[in-house]
Amino acid sequence: MREQDAYKDLSDLFRVEDNTLAAEPFTRQVMGRVRQQKRMRRVVVGGLGLIGAGIAAMQLPQLFAEWAGLEKPLADALATAPAELSTAAVSQINAAATGNPMWIAIAAGAALCVFAVSAFERA
């Protein structure tokens, strides 16, 4: 019975011990580790980023040299592209009109997607 009375209020016992331990050194130690990891992360990521930027910069002269030779073929391809696309579209439309199963499946899939979007769209 005497022991129960002596330890009835445990908060008083822990308060005495708690006051002897200062929280500042522990907090300083933990935050020091966090800051050190943050600095290390910045150094590693920044260093790797600079290395990557350097490697990319070393490739630029070769890239620009290859681009210089592409001007004429690219311009010719862009000039003939509309005519080639219209010819290809007409031939595909003719193939779809004759009952090509591939185009029928594509049209059915597109219609199903449009139906699904319109059916499940919320106002």
| Residue-level pLDDT, tens digit, the chain, 123 residues | 455 555 666 766 666 666 666 778 888 888 999 999 999 999 999 999 999 998 988 888 777 776 666 667 777 777 888 888 788 777 777 766 666 677 778 888 999 998 888 888 764
Predicted pLDDT of residue 59:
84
Radius of gyration (C-alpha) of the chain in whole angstroms: 37
Q: Which two tokens stand for residue 18?
A: 């708690």
Whether 107 contacts 115, CB under 8 Å: no
| C-alpha to C-alpha distance for 76 and 82, rounded to whole angstroms | 11
